[in-house]
A and B are shown apart, each in its own frame.
Chain A
Amino acid sequence: MLILTCPYCGVNADETELAPGGEAHLRRAGPDASDAEFEAYMFERRNPCGVHFERWRHAAGCGKWFIAARATDTLEVFATYKAQCTAPPADVIRAIRARRPDWEGWK
């Protein structure tokens, strides 16, 4: 069972309390984006086998959105952080590097 710590209320919530929300840090294509850019924003996904940044909502708790950095090939969780971050914070990157020295990095 996946257990994530909600960065707002600090609760260790198991996945039955949480709602998954897909890949994090997607940037909405602007009004003059091309069809290809909009398609990429809407549909194309990294779907990595390894380090993944993913949106979750503490649905049966405080109700807030947050982001989890975790591994899709082992189900290890590296860190969780608030949804207001537009990129993974430095301490999250450090936590991932500590566990995955050969990680290719974010983006």
Chain B
Amino acid sequence: MKRYNALAILREGLRLHRGWPRAWASPEPKSEYDVVIVGAGGHGLATAYYLGRNHGITNVAVLEKGWLGGGNTGRNTTIIRSNYLQDPSAAIYEKARALYETMSRDLNLNVMFSPRGVMMLAQTEHEKRGYLRTAEANALQGVETEFISPARVKELVPMINLEGPRYPVLGALWQARGGTARHDAVAWGYARACSDMGMHIIQQCEVTGIERRGGRVSAVNTTRGRIGCGKLALIVAGHSGRLAEMAGFRLPIESVALQAMVSEPIKPMLDVVVMANTVHGYISQSDKGELVIGGGADGYNNYTQRGSFHHIEETVRALCETFPAIGRLRMMRQWGGIVDMTGDRSPILSKTPLPGCYVNCGWGTGGFKAIPGSGWAMAELVANDAPGPLAAPFSLSRFREGRFIDESVAAGVAH
């Protein structure tokens, strides 16, 4: 792998950038791999990366029906935070947040992690009490957060309207070390590192069936032929139900649309991430100057990557109330992704009823922030055929046992 550094950029600049090798190879699929991962989103690629780095398993293929990072990983609003309520969530999201801090160095690719701070506004008494409780829980979990006053909110975000017409700002949960990162770069960085370890990343390769032999998973059928596998990891977000059907089981997952949009670029006006969960809107400003805006998910099943217009309206209304200054901005682009929702709004990292087959899904509206932690925990599960401490609470059996990891109140909004 040709390393990226200042000297290399200078040298290549002088010879018109003709010497850069491809960042990752595009090999023909082999007939068999030790581990096949379905889905080259952030979670699939991070799983492959940690299988190699932490467990020395490199005979791995990552199969992707479209292009890598083209699912939700390339469609999200990139908010990274770990201020969840329940201990298992805090553990895996905080692991991920910490890994984001060193990701650019680890992958030798600038993922533009920007720990600019994430602010979650409290706009009802109920929400305020909820965040006060979360702040206490985070203190016990060792996650640095604090509940801040409206005056401090105004100091951090001068353009905010504290006296919203519907919901005044009563304070906020503030995680100074949360922030954003460049979504594509996260996928590219992992892909490049995996390719460098000799793994195969195979795009334009859709999995259409799953074969079993002797009660175990043995191969996948794809649009590029049959590919044998010792182990199989399904990491396909909104398409998890379809892959589970091929593997012969059902998941507690519903696929729904979640939308986002960006405005025309403007001068710097907002240097933190603000989430207004009661009114359903959140906002940050990208390095290009665009306001990156998201809101609530649709309430019904959908695979079309198109969402409901009234949710966009609701989101924009919420943000105009909170930041009246943006009222006349034009929006440039709007898009949707299909997110995988579980009942307790927590993910699933688990063995499945089919031996040798594992799932990682259910990240729903908030899995970008979890990518490195999820990959770490998933690699451990696949390599050892048993979950480590990070993944164990997120098993499928929690639904049968009533052992929910209920984040639906703390994080019932898209993020």
Contacts and interface: CB of A to CB of B under 8 A. Distances in A.
B304 interface: yes
A12 to B, nearest CB: 16
Nearest to A36: B400
Contacts of A42: 399
Nearest to B301: A72
A28 B302 CA distance: 25
B369 interface: no
Given A1-B309, A16-B310, A36-B400, A47 B251 contact: yes
Interface string A7-27: 000000001100110100000
A47 B251 CA distance: 9
A1 B242 CA distance: 25
Interface of chain B, helix or strand or loop or mixed? Answer: mixed
Interface stretch (A48-56, A78-86, A92-100): A48-56
Interface string B302-333: 11101011100000000000000000000000
Contacts, number: 60
Interface residues of A, number: 25
B239 interface: yes
Given A16-B310, A42-B399, A43-B343, A2 B300 contact: yes
B248 interface: no
Interface stretch (B65-73, B80-88, B252-260): B252-260
Interface string B384-406: 00000000000000011000000
Residue from B254, B303, B304, B309 whose CB has the most chain A CB atoms within 10 Å = B303
A39 B343 CA distance: 12
B131 to A, nearest CB: 28
A102 interface: no
5 contacts: A22-B254, A45-B250, A47-B241, A47-B251, A74-B304
Given A47-B255, A49-B303, A54-B300, 6 more contacts: A20-B300, A36-B400, A54-B301, A72-B255, A72-B303, A73-B303
Interface of A: 1-2, 15-16, 19-20, 22, 35-36, 39-40, 42-49, 52, 54, 72-75
Interface of B: 239, 241-242, 250-255, 299-304, 306, 308-310, 343, 399-400
